[in-house]
Each structure stands twice: as structure tokens, then as C-alpha cells.
Structure 1
Amino acid sequence: MITSLQDTIKLNNGVEMPAMGLGVFQVENDTTAEIVKNAIELGYRSIDTAAIYGNEAGVGEGIKLALASTGLNREDLFITSKVWNAGLNYEETVSAYEESLGKLGLDYLDLYLIHWPGQNKFAESWTALEDLYQEGKIRAIGVCNFNISHLQDLLKTARVTPVINQVEFHPRLQQRSLRAFCKEHNIQLEAWAPLMQGGLLEDTTIAKIAEKYGKSNSQVILRWDIQNEVITIPKSVRKERMAQNADIFDFSLTDEEMQIINAMNLDKRVGPDPEVFDF
């Protein structure tokens, strides 16, 4: 049962990951430090970045500032980054990991992900992640934007099962077949663009539910994520919005309300389709 911002979900390797965190996609590096510091001071413990975002250094500085201001330890935080598709052979992946670690100013990552599958480019990269994991340099490894076919190919040769598949997930794209496959293989689903990049903030169906609880559309959607046992990492640059997004643990959606939101699925993406999009 997830009842607070610090509550965790146990991944398939036993590592505990916060059920909710902060994403920093499209956040400028020179503003990232203050945003990350604010988030950690508000109680966020999970921060999700990526090499391609260009803000790992800012995330690292924000972590350093927050640890100084809060008295927390590095071990209290859960930091995720991702290898970009320009570096998916074995040596490139190891080098990309070390570069990310250096920019973040950290000794290890809690989670490292392959950002996109490309056209079956990920085999060598996954082997590199497995080795880094088994050497104790990463606490957990996973993937992003993998459809069922990608996961099936990966699992044929994988020595380590991914702990996470981070994918676009929101009421208009509910990924039901993929969620079922991940559940069958004990791979935790994590949502990026949980608010459909703002596309659902004025939705009237969700607004009716939100009005009942005195909440915003974003709070209802994030609560729906949590009750679906999907890890969620909404992006926000404003401290008050981060606080609002986190204020979702004092109410629960009824089964009927969950079904109303479930019925909104249109299999509609705001990002690329991994099946056809090659980076």
C-alpha cells in the first residue's frame, strides 16, 4: 500500500524504488539544480534524468545542495539515468555510464536504463548493463519504451531480467497488453508523460472526479497511476506544482472512478511509437 511520497515498490531484484518521483525531461541544465533541490526538500526521493536531457550536471548539483540542506544521505535517494541510442555497443554503453556518473558527481546509480530499443540495437548494450550491475556499479537495470516484441527478444538471451520498463502511460494510452506482459515477467511498469504532457489537465471527465475530492486533474491522474501500481515521474519546474502533485495520499479513487478513467483509453500517443521510430 502506497500512502506517502517516500513509500516504495519492491523491484524484481529486491531493490526498493519510490512509487513516485520527479522527471526532468526538457529542463534546462542551468535551472535543474534548484528544481531538484526543491523537490528533495519537499520529500521527493526519486529523480529521473537521462544523458540526452543534457542536465545530469544540474541534477548532480541539486542533489549536492539538497543533501546539505536536509541532512539526508545519498543512500536516501533513488537516482535514474539512461543511455542514449548513439552509444549502444558494449564499449559505448560502459563509457556512457561512466560519463553520466561523472556529470552527476555520484559513485553509483540506483537505476540505469536503455532509453530506446531502436531497431534491435540493444543486445550489446544490455550485456554491458548486466556486467555493470553484476560488478555492483548499478543497483538495478532496466529499459525504456520497449514494446512486447522488444522485451521478448531481450529475454531470449538476458542473464538479468529488467526491473523496469519505463513507457509512455496515461489515461489515453494505457498499454494494457504491455502491462500484462510486464506483470507476467515481473517487470515493473513506470510512466513517463503521465499527464499526457499537459493534454489532460482540462479534461472534463477527470475534472468531475477531481471536483468531488477538491483536487486537480493532475492529482487524480497521478492517484490513478498509484492505484494501478504504476510508478510515476511527473515533471514540474515550479515548487508549488511539485507539492501539489505529491499531495495525492489523502484520498482514494473508488472502483467506479477507476473504471471511468480506464474507459478513456484511445491508444493515443504524444511521443514516438517505439515499434517504428528508430533513433
Structure 2
Amino acid sequence: MDAMADTEIPTTTFPDGRSTVALAQGTWNMGDEPAARATELDALRAGLDAGLTAIDTAEMYGSGRSEELVGEAIAGRRDEVFLISKVLPSNASRRGTGEAARRSLARLGTDRLDLYLLHWRGSHPLADTVAAMQELVEEGLIRAWGVSNLDADDLDELAAIPGGDAAQTDQVLYNLAQRGPEHDVIPWARSRSMPVMAYSPLDQGRLATDPTLAALAEPLGVSAGQLALAWVVRHA
């Protein structure tokens, strides 16, 4: 972490002009084990100290316990953080989206989210979710919104909805071992100057111990994990 603190972290810019660091702290599986809570809090706070000020969570993670953990970690430091959470598809009706957002805010101990994402597409019409997101922006409860796990056809449909072009990002599974978004989602997003957020950039840790990556990374003086992260930041 000390080495990272001395390194300039790249940034990404959203269509609305706001920027944040291009490497976020993910919290999937955090909050599941009470015995790990202290370690997880220390990790999140150390990340903030190192400049990893974007934190991604979701109401689904730990059935809300991840958001509670994040809220504790950022207490007293909210203004440092670019805070991202997600609404479950089952909650993403026009009314349900707002209710879910308010529950997330309560668990996080904050009055606003910097980015609120539809976690994946479900049975509720995208138009209803978009309308709810617009209302949350107007109320000041979220600064902006986006989507996750939508393919290019879904994104075309979203863009055709009134207000749908306000989506700031699509968060998708993307790493050196999982490159499907290169065929459709990434070209779609680039044509609209919309960044793609890549989740599981280390393929759930597998790339950090990949021997081929380690051999390529060694002459560069970096780890396999660092090389994999740098690749995603450059290509997403």
C-alpha cells in the first residue's frame, strides 16, 4: 500500500464530466463473515489512505451487510469517497428503485450516492427504472446513475428511452480471461464516450497467480496482479 500511495492512480471521466480514480475498491463477499469484519474495515480504510477513493457495493452483497461495512469504513470521510451502489432487478420498479436507494443510503450512513446502478436487467421495464433514477437525481439522493451487466442490445433499448442517454456507465465482467465485452459492449460505450466499469479484473484472484502473467510481469518489476489490473485500465 505504501508503494501505491507514491504512485499516481489513473482516473476516468464520465459523460457528465465528473471524474474518479479508475481503480475502485470492490466489496463483493465483504460483510458475510462477522469474524472478518475488522480485517475488512482495515482493508477499506487502507485503500482510502492509498488513494483508492472509489468504493463499489450493492444492496445484494451480504444482504445489505456490505453497505453497512462500507458505511462504517467511510464514517467521517464521506467527502473523500466516490460511492457506488446497485439496486437489485427485483426492486427496480419505478417505486421500488427509490425505496431501495433510501435503504442503501441508511445502511451506508450517507445522504447521497455518487453513482447508482441497475445491477442487472430483470422483469421491470427499463423505462420505469430510468424514470425512478431521474427522480432520485432530482431529489439529490443520487448524483448520477448507470447500469450493470447489460449487453449491446439492452444498451440500444436503454438509449432509446427518454432520459436513457443519461446512463453514465455499464459495469460488466471483463478481464484478461473474460473478454466478451470487447465484441459489443466496449465498442458501443466508446462510440458514446461512456466508460465501462470492469468487475472481477483479477478473475476472482486467478490472474494474480497466473504463471504466464508472472513471467511477463517479472522483467517489468511488477506482480502478475498489477499487470492484469493495468491491462484492464487500459482496455476497458
Identity %: 31
Structure 1 unaligned regions, length at least 5: 68-72, 231-279
What's the counterpart of residue 57 of structure 1?
A: 68
What CA distance in whole angstroms lies between the structure 1 residues aligned with 2:57 and 2:197? 14
Aligned pair partner of 1:105 in 106, 109, 130: 109
What CA distance in whole angstroms lies between the structure 2 residues aligned with 1:161 and 1:41? 32
Q: Deviating runs (4+, > 6 A) in structure 1? A: none
Matching of residues 89-104 of structure 1 within 5 Å: 89-104=93-108
What's the counterpart of residue 235 of structure 1?
A: none
CA contact (8 A) 2:115 2:142 kept: yes
Q: Are positions 1:226 and 2:230 aligned together? A: no
Q: Are positions 1:195 and 2:208 aligned together? A: no
Matching of residues 27-176 of structure 1 within 5 Å: 27-28=30-31, 30=34, 31=37, 32-53=40-61, 54=64, 55-64=66-75, 67=76, 73-119=77-123, 121-159=125-163, 160-174=165-179, 175-176=181-182
Q: Let me know the Cα RMSD of the aligned residues.
A: 1.8
What CA distance in whole angstroms lies between the structure 2 residues aligned with 1:139 and 1:122? 19
1:206-234 per-residue CA deviation (whole Å, 9 max, x = no partner) reads: 22211111221110011112222x3xxxx
CA contact (8 A) 1:8 1:18 kept: yes
CA contact (8 A) 2:55 2:82 kept: yes
- Report the Cα offset of residue 120 of structure 1: 6.2
Q: Which one has more relative contact order, counting CA pairs under 8 Å at least 6 apart?
A: 1
Deviates further, 28-37 or 126-135: 28-37
TM-score by length of 1: 0.74
TM-score by length of 2: 0.86
What CA distance in whole angstroms lies between the structure 1 residues aligned with 2:114 and 2:175? 25
**CA 1:85/1:60 → structure 2, altered by over 3 Å: closer, same or farther?**
same
What's the counterpart of residue 216 of structure 2?
A: 209
Structure 2 unaligned regions, length at least 5: 1-6
Deviates further, 204-213 or 98-107: 204-213
The one-letter amino acid paired with 2:152 is I
